[in-house]
Chain A
Amino acid sequence: EAQVTQNPRYLITVTGKKLTVTCSQNMNHEYMSWYRQDPGLGLRQIYYSMNVEVTDKGDVPEGYKVSRKEKRNFPLILESPSPNQTSLYFCAIRNRGTDTQYFGPGTRLTVL
């Protein structure tokens, strides 16, 4: 079964203090993606990566950065977090040639 881990699971921070949420997978899947989940808005894609060193914007990329230096890791970076980035974040993975995405356990971020 696909294993996706995220750290931290919970984080409370203040406006402007840079933070990184890590995502790691043990499946050697090429595709990785970040979503945020907000009440009434569902899950929306932030960024995705088709492979190492290949990343692209999703539907709501503003205020976020990502990197994909190695296949197993896909960190989400908030250079200057703002309160509107308070949300529940999920990392997802997908194997090449398939469409099913498997999600991590989530990271609850609160920006004060």
Chain B
Amino acid sequence: GESVGLHLPTLSVQEGDNSIINCAYSNSASDYFIWYKQESGKGPQFIIDIRSNMDKRQGQRVTVLLNKTVKHLSLQIAATQPGDSAVYFCAENVGTGRRALTFGSGTRLQVQP
């Protein structure tokens, strides 16, 4: 598969446990945040997003928390499954015309059976 990072921080969890992946973002003007999951050999896959006027958003088995005071974002995965093993990226979107995403360096999640 494709290597997306040689020295990514790694989070190892047991199957069935909850996972928390953290991300510090850089720009206080960012108004939109996304979490992506990237499996080996595939493109980033959208998981969940949140706007800066919210501090929490829930999806199916996933929750994103946003703390604008400390510019921190977290992704919580409930009842982690082996299929959740991947690299997870947070991305921020500053309110400029081109709306480019600025990505974090990623965290590798390893789920132990």
Contact = CB atoms under 8 A, between A and B. Distances in A.
A88 B98 contact: no
Most chain A beta-carbon contacts within 10 A, residue among B7, B32, B43, B105: B43
B7 A106 contact: no
Contacts of A101: 34, 46, 101
B101 A45 contact: yes
B25 interface: no
B46 A102 contact: yes
A43 B99 contact: no
Interface stretch (A12-20, A34-42, A62-70, A71-79): A34-42
B5 interface: yes
Contact of B44 (A41, A50, A90, A108): A90
Interface of B: 2-7, 32, 34, 36, 41-46, 49, 89, 91, 93, 98-101, 103-106
Interface of A: 4, 31, 33, 37, 39-45, 48, 50, 56, 58-59, 88, 90, 94, 99-106, 108
